[in-house]
Structure 1
């Protein structure tokens, strides 16, 4: 079985240089890295990561932290998270890293999983797939001084170990409100589940600001994540009390599809309310009618997050990176 010394000899470099090239060290030139890669391929050399991890006391694994959900099955079925994870793993695979998921049905359960990954798995790099103020799971990573990237809204973190990747969700909230208004929908309702989640809050704030700027009355409704019967009863009463509502803005596609189903159960016609949502996942085409949605490019979000975490040359002076968004128009917003 070939060793790193065999690779170094064939590439014409020292063993230490070959090792640094293998780990994509920024001090090694691209030409030298290419010679080392070529030698590895010719010798069919595979790094012994287990041995390296024991020496470095650091794993070649990135921890991906999912938001707390009492119903983890619903989280796993959300295409948005799957697309982000695919983007992360595409970059990790290129750089010989693996990924490990951390999830939990409570903050305490999630923290325990993260601590296990740190202590037993020697994981020293994390990506959070959500942003939430006063998050105890995030605090664990901060206290350990472990580098991480957060996919979500930047907030109150003033250190070089944390970077944020996000869309401009405030602007996206304004854009969907304007989009509906231009199509004649003046009476709009914003649907959400948890405004403690900053992505939902930023989209809501964008909606609120635009409605107020136009002199229009903003309306919002919170859906329970777990009690469908309670949500149905409260939503039905709310719509009966506000019969003038013409359009709904859902904080994401999965909630929009869920509301479409609830409205059908209540006896509303499929086209009674215009509907627009966020994330532009595969469910938008399956919805009835098909959903107009904001494309936020989750695969690219994942790629950017992983790239920043693994790039030793990432600019520490910049800790927030914004990606674009785009409204994808479909049948749920025909206009009045």
Structure 2
């Protein structure tokens, strides 16, 4: 295995000089730094970050905290999170940072894993890929000597400890609901899984504000992420009670796909109800019919979260990423009569 001593020998400098050059020490000339970097490339040398972290008591590791539900389901089933992680990883790679995923089947398990990361890995930087009311994980992080960026809205803003990168989820949902109304739909339902997740609550607020402004009644449908048998019963009962339903604002693409699958199981045409969703992930385009979805640019969300974390850029309240409705087949104009 190539060591820093091998690099130093090829560059014609001492190992300590090579090490300082590697860390861009201002005492080392630019010409020497170039020789060391050239030697590193020729030898395909990769720094042993773990050893350096132990010596310096610093870390080049960024912890990415996933919501508990992504551990109960398969992470690969939700392209939204994968795209955010790709955006984060791109920035981290450019800045010689590595990423470590923190997951858990329960909040208790996730908290234990984060504590272990902080203690054993000496991780000092975290990015949360979710925002949840009264989150014990975020509460614990705020009490540690770490920096943190949250992708999502905050219920407890503390700029000294945590910064936020988000979409305008209220505005995005207002636009989505108005889009359906412009197509002729008035009996519109908001479908969700967990209002404790602030993104879902914000999207409900946007839906509700537009419906109320138009003097249309608001209705919600709550479905499980994991129990499709229960979901079938819930949806069947809901549609029997509210037979006038015309369209759904789904909290995300996965919810929209779940609705389409349930319609099929109930023998209902997939085109019986209009659906608009959020995230514009790959599954939206592959759905049948293809889903109209609000593009929220998750890759950019991830990149901006990493840049805010690593560059120390200030986001006085929160940094907002724009959104855009991508129209597809699931929202045809409502036929008259």
Q: TM-score, normalised by structure 2?
A: 0.89
Partner of 1:182: 182
Q: Distance in 2 between matches of 1:246 and 1:196?
A: 27
Deviates more, 1:137-146 or 1:127-136: 137-146
Residue 24 of structure 2 aligns to a residue whose secondary structure is: helix
CA-based RMSD of the aligned residues comes to 2.4
Which moves more between the two structures, 124-133 or 33-42? 33-42
Equivalent position of 1:309 in the other structure: 309
Residue 211 of structure 1 corresponds to: 211
* CA deviation vs aligned residue, 1:148-202 (integer Å, no higher than 9, x gap): 1100012312242211000000001100000000010111010000000000000
Deviations 1:265-309 (Å, cap 9, x if unpaired)?
A: 111112100010000000011111000000000001111111111
Q: Contact between 2:124 and 2:145, CA under 8 Å: does it hold in 1?
A: no
Q: Which moved more, 1:70-79 or 1:84-93?
A: 70-79
Partner in structure 2 of residue 107 of structure 1: 107
Q: Does residue 42 of structure 2 align to residue 42 of structure 1?
A: no
| Matches of 2:101 and 2:149, distance apart in 1 | 15
For 2:239 and 2:262, locate their aligned partners in 1 and report how far apart those are by CA, in whole Å: 12
Q: Tell me the TM-score normalised to structure 1 length.
A: 0.89
Tell me the secondary structure at the aligned position of residue 143 of structure 2.
helix
Matched residue, 1:25:
none
Map 1:280-299; keep pairs closer than 5 Å.
Answer: 280-299=280-299
**1:253–1:34 Cα change, 3 Å:** farther
Count of aligned residue pairs for this structure pair: 323
Query: Which position in structure 2 is the counterpart of 1:53?
Result: 53
User: Aligned pair in 2 of structure 1 residues 237, 96: CA closer, same or farther (>3 Å)?
Assistant: same
Q: Structure 2 matches for 1:188-203, cutoff 5 A?
A: 188-203=188-203
> Which deviations, in whole Å up to 9, do the C-alpha atoms of 1:110-138 show, x marking residues without a partner?
10010010001111110000001110111
Match in the other structure for 1:228: 228
> Does 1:335 find its partner at 2:336?
no
Aligned to 2:93: 93
- CA gap of 1:298–1:41, structure 2 versus 1, over 3 A, is same
